[in-house]
Amino acid sequence: MSRLVFRSGSLVLGLMAAASAHGDEWGTLKGRFVLGGDLAAAAALTVDKDVEICGKHKLLSEEVVVGGDKAVANVVVFVRDKKVKVKPELEAATKTAKPVLDNANCRFEPHVLFVQTGQELEIKNSDTVGHNSNIATVKNAPSNILIPAGGKVTAKFTAEEAVPAQVTCNIHPWMKGWLVVRDNPYAAVSKADGSFEIADLPAGELELQFWHEKAGYLGEMSIGGKKETVKKGRMKRKIKAGDNDLGEVVLDAGLFK
């Protein structure tokens, strides 16, 4: 049961897209997350371990990262449908892709990383201090591996995680990152400019899910000036062949408080 009310134009387009789903048409979903209202500037983190090295970086909390033009970074968008059809070329490409989580400048880079099940995740340490990566997965066996300065380890996930898993470093307690572990390749994390893009989606109706580490599953957002209430961050959306631009997706500052 979708809570969305489409404007008549997009409804027609949506129906057309549904009709053409069998013909293997692929669409791209994109948009840009912006903050509605204001938030206090990100707080400085308490760096009390390896101060001589980690203290140099003036680390700020990355719980909510708001950039220029109120862009909201690190919003996760993924396709929730278990049996979503995956474009064959994409499937082949993601199988061999190697996502990398770096311990760099005493923070995780990237702060939120998407990993597909079956992919080999490389966790490396570009710092001159040792780290450990404590991965609190629920469906996959949780792990906590020591990674020496300049070293790297690998990890693999076999099951999809319903909620992104937190990664922490017990040596440097301020370090927090997230892994989005999904079975299908259709996921994106919004960039510093707030934009996200998921390409090669099968045309037709898909269930999207929106998540942010501070706000949780996003309960509401404004798309193209229209307010949508989204239960558990889930939204059914018709994807048509070609571009599907959500435009500015406004997230109220209240979600992040």
Partner 1 sequence: MKTPLRPLVLAAVASLLAVGCGPTPPAAFRLNMVEAVAPSAEKDSVAAELALSIDQQRQVATILAALFGSPDEPFCQPEMGLDPAKLRLAAGPVRSDIVGRKNGLYREHCVHCHGITGDGLGPTAAFLNPYPRDYRPGIFKFKSTERSDKPTHADLVKILHNGVPGSSMPSFALLSPAEVDALAEYVKYLSIRGETELALMRTFFELDDDAQGKLAETREFLIDEIVAPIAEKWTAASEAVIEVPEMPADEDLAASIEKGRALFHGNKANCVKCHGVTALGDGQANDYDDWNKDIVKIRDKLAKLAAGEADAAERRWAAGFQEVLVSEALRPRTIPPRNLRHGIYRGGRRPLDLYYRIHAGINGAPMPAAKGTVASEDIWHIVNYIRSLPYDFDGELGADRAVAVRPGPAVGLAATQED
Q: Summarize as ranges the residues that interact with partner 1 (CB under 8 A).
A: 1, 49-50, 128-130, 132, 134, 136, 138, 141-149, 151, 153, 162-163, 170-171, 173, 214-220, 231-234, 254-255, 257
C-alpha of 171 from chain center: 25
Joined together, the tokens standing for residue 236 give 């059914």
CB-wise, 107 or 240, nearer to partner 1? 107
Sheet strands (E) in the chain: 26-36, 76-79, 100-104, 107-109, 112-116, 120-125, 131-135, 143-147, 152-156, 165-168, 176-182, 187-189, 195-202, 204-212, 216-217, 220-223, 226-229, 234-239, 242-252
CB-wise, 134 or 195, nearer to partner 1? 134
Residues 6+ apart with CB under 8 A from 103: 109, 123, 124, 125, 126, 127, 131, 133, 147, 169, 175
CB-wise, 123 or 189, nearer to partner 1? 123
Say how far apart CA 230 and CA 248 lie, in whole Å: 16
What's the min distance (Å) between Cβ of 207 and partner 1?
A: 9
What's the min distance (Å) between Cβ of 80 and partner 1?
A: 9
What's the min distance (Å) between Cβ of 197 and partner 1?
A: 25
CB-wise, 88 or 254, nearer to partner 1? 254
What's the min distance (Å) between Cβ of 131 and partner 1?
A: 8
SS3 49: coil
CB-wise, 118 or 150, nearer to partner 1? 150
Q: Name the residue type at position 112.
A: V
